[in-house]
Amino acid sequence: MPESADLTALRDVVEGPLAEIAVRFSRLLAEDWPHQALVIFTLECTGRPRKVTGVKEIADKVAIRELEAIKARVEPGGHLTTTATLGGTTRTLWAVRDPGGTLLVLVPRASRKRFPRPSRLAEIFGIVATSIRQQVTQASPDYLAESRAASSERARTIVEMAAAHETALVTILTALRSTRLDDQRARHVATDSASAALVALRSAHRTDLALSEEQAHTAFGRLRREVRQVMRHHGAEVEFVAPPKDGRPLSGEVAHAARAMTCTAVLAFTTQPELTRLRVAWTSDETALHLDVRDQESGDLDVAGLRLQLDGRAKTLGATVEVDAVPGWGSRVTVVLPFEPESDRSGEAVLSELNRRELEVLRLVARGQRNKAIAATLGITESTVKFHVTGVLRKLDVGSRGEAAALALAAGISAGHSA
């Protein structure tokens, strides 16, 4: 990649849709870092932590547990050439880990074993990783809707898969441990194999659920560090009131939204010239997480501006926002962020215009599937899927797949619901 073209080409990578950033980044790197496949692994994107492109035999098989293992080998801010399992096969890999924790993995072409200019790649990837974090923090309603649909379906699938396979493996173990089997050695080997598989399955289950959920107390700990960074040069005293450690876990989208909305409010409070003390609190009940940011200062908060910043995310996640400022008394922001989106059955009237095939396509869109995957699931061509998606968007009077997914979820056509 010529130096003179760096900034223009890199701008094209970070400006496009987040879901396709791996494809754009792969094109950028193709000349200087020839590769068969590229993977970006980031916990910021809870719905789709893997962003993969390249040779189908590799891209379709990349597992989160493989990426976790690779990530553990690379120091934050570091890079290395390593041999590790990716896509079920041991390969030579080039890996870069951003200081923020985002991982880049390249599978080099067979003729290119030496890692060319790894420090240069780390610099370029640092900008891309920062862009990803910013896009997630400032996520559009479309992205949030698609991400929430994808992560919800992912968590449901993980639970069902784990339950089914665990039952099967326990059954096998019970049979193999039976004294009625004569071949003791065969029984011993089979028992060890099944036990190892059961442990691996439970481990994968815990790892994947950890990506979909976060304890409220842990999320608040991350928020505390972010707020302290923001307030480092301000001088105001900040009081933190954390949620209980035994509270309900948060979905990835709720945790990210809670931190982002709280930080947005804190930044708005810092614009008040008389701010000397700030209180940041999270509490929860059975249905929602409650965010509370307040001061006892001049009451000069820009109410309209802050509400404008918070309303887009709040609308997508079904949250309610109240912003109050009383001159000479103080300012307060409260957000009620529901753990689960409310089901708006009024949307069913709109969905009633869809035929059965369009409902099937919409259900899969709500699961975060792209056209190719939908075609394979329904046994139809990709062009037919495009035709049905266009029809769905037209009948629902929406402009994107994310809006369609949000309508489907609001109307009760959940990721696991049969259309």
Q: How would residue 4 be classed by pLDDT, with cut points 50, 70 and 90?
A: very low
> Is 21 a residue whose pLDDT tops 80?
yes
Q: For residues 127 and 29, state if they share a domain.
A: yes
Question: What CA dihedral angle connects 394, 399, 405 and 411, to 10 degrees?
Answer: -60
Query: Residue 36 corresponds to which tokens in the numbers above?
Result: 């068969």
Task: Mark which of 86, 107, 137 sits at the end of a domain.
Answer: 137
Whether residue 108 sits in one domain with residue 18: yes
Residue 419 lies in a domain: no
Residue 90: CB atoms within 10 Å: 10
Residues 31, 78: one domain?
Answer: yes
- 224 and 292 together in one domain: yes
- The CATH number that applies at residue 301 is 3.30.565.10
CATH code where residue 395 lies: 1.10.10.10
**CA 262 to mean position of chain CA atoms:** 19
- Out of 30-34, 118-122, 204-208, pick the least confident: 204-208
Q: Using one digit for the tens of pLDDT, what is the confidence trace for 42-51?
A: 876 555 678 9
The answer to whether residue 71 sits within a structural domain is yes
Please tell me whether residues 119 and 224 are part of one structural domain: no
Residue 46 lies in a domain: yes
Same domain, 12 and 115: yes
Instruction: Give domain status of residue 387, yes or no.
Output: yes
Query: What is the count of structural domains for the chain?
Result: 4
Q: Of 87, 110, 137, which marks where a domain is finished?
A: 137
What pTM did the predictor assign? Answer: 0.44
Identify whether 417 is part of a domain: no
Residue with tokens 């061509």: 381
> Looking at the structure, do residues 38 and 121 belong to the same domain, yes or no?
yes
31 and 51 within one domain: yes
In a domain, 416, yes or no: no
CATH of the domain at 23: 3.30.450
For residues 213 and 258, what is the distance between their CA atoms, to the nearest angstrom? 13
Q: Do 82 and 188 fall within a single domain?
A: no
In a domain, 315, yes or no: yes
Mutual angle of helices 141-176 and 252-269, in 10-degree steps:
140
**What is the band of 124 on the pLDDT scale with cuts at 50, 70, 90?**
very high
Query: Does residue 158 share a domain with residue 44?
Result: no
Euclidean distance between CA atoms 35 and 116, whole angstroms? 12
DSSP state of 276: -
pLDDT of residue 53: 93
From the number of C-beta atoms within 10 Å of its C-beta (0-12, 13-18, 19+), residue 285 rates as exposed
**Does the structure show a pLDDT above 90 at 20?**
no
Do 393 and 355 lie in one domain? The reply is: yes
Which domain, by its residues, includes 185?
Answer: 141-213
Do 8 and 128 share a domain, yes or no? Answer: yes
What pLDDT, on the 0 to 100 scale, is given for residue 240? 95
Choose the final residue of a domain: 77, 103, 137: 137
Q: Is residue 91 part of a domain?
A: yes
